[in-house]
């Protein structure tokens, strides 16, 4: 059985809800942790999918994190081979960069629970078509990206026009976090508390929305992640 590769960028941001969908379809996966010294494979041979998770790095910070250049090359190889790619937050930014789009700091950080609105194109997408056109999502990013040439915009928010996109048949980028379980949200908020305070943000604003918003967001996640995982079967 082929294996999916998972590029992880910090300990507190694993697959989360994505793992549930992979296991439902009996898909195996292998974490690659470049920040901990793992070598990024040169190409996607004998793999059936690539998942690129979030993290504190910037897609443009290659001088500080040289392994990001290797990740971008691996994403490009997956796209060339039409192997399914799923990028979450930083992963979406790296996918955009791999497709030639600009990634840069946004005018302001988008952190907290804010609604996203799906585009008309999302209604016709084989994965997103079954999702309600507007729902509350968890945002946790400071960087944004231009829509890659040839990509289809799937979702926007008031602060960020490019929240989700598809390139080709099976490469998807999602800027917000819907892979995070309640436990991951709490751990990441705890790990990031000092950073939140330095930005003038109370982490309790995120934790306070978990009970209200996460159940529906996790349902959306199940639809989307299962749909994407089926592309890898």
Residues identified as active-site: 89, 177, 179
128, containing H or E segment = none
Q: Helices 210-231 and 182-191: crossing angle, nearest 10°?
A: 110
State whether residue 177 is helix, strand or coil: strand
DSSP class of 35: G
Q: How many CA atoms lie within 13 A of 130 on its CB side?
A: 12
How far apart are the C-alpha atoms of 165 and 96, rounded to whole Å?
A: 9
CB-CB contact of 145 with 165 (8 Å):
no
Rounded-to-5 percentages of helix, strand, coil across the chain: 35, 25, 40
DSSP characters for 78-127?
HHHTT--EEEETHHHHHHHHHTT--EEEEEEEEEEEEEEEE-HHHHTSTT
CB 218 within 8 A of CB 172: no
DSSP label at 151?
-
Compute the distance between CA of residue 1 and CA of residue 95 in angstroms, rounded to an integer.
26
């Amino acid at each position: 059985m082929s294996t999916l590769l998972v590029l992880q960028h910090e300990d507190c941001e694993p697959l989360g809800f994505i793992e549930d969908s992979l296991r439902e379809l009996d898909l195996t996966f292998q974490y690659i942790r470049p920040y901990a010294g793992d070598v990024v494979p040169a190409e996607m041979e004998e793999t059936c999918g690539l998942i690129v998770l979030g993290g504190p790095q910037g897609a443009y910070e290659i001088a500080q994190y040289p392994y990001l250049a290797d990740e971008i090359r691996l994403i490009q190889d997956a796209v060339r081979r039409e192997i399914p790619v799923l990028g979450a937050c930083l992963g979406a930014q790296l996918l955009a960069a791999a497709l030639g789009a600009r990634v840069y700091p946004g005018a302001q950080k988008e952190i907290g629970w804010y609604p996203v609105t799906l585009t008309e194109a999302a209604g016709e997408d084989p994965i997103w078509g079954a999702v309600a056109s507007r729902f509350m999502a968890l945002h946790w990013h400071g960087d944004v990206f231009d829509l890659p040439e040839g990509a289809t915009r799937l979702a926007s928010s008031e602060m960020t026009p490019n929240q989700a996109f598809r390139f080709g048949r099976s490469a998807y980028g999602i800027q917000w976090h819907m892979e995070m379980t309640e436990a991951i949200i709490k751990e990441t908020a705890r790990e990031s508390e000092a950073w939140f305070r330095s930005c003038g943000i109370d982490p309790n604003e995120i934790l306070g929305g978990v009970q209200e918003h996460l159940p529906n967001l996790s349902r959306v996640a199940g639809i989307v992640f299962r749909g994407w995982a089926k592309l890898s079967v």
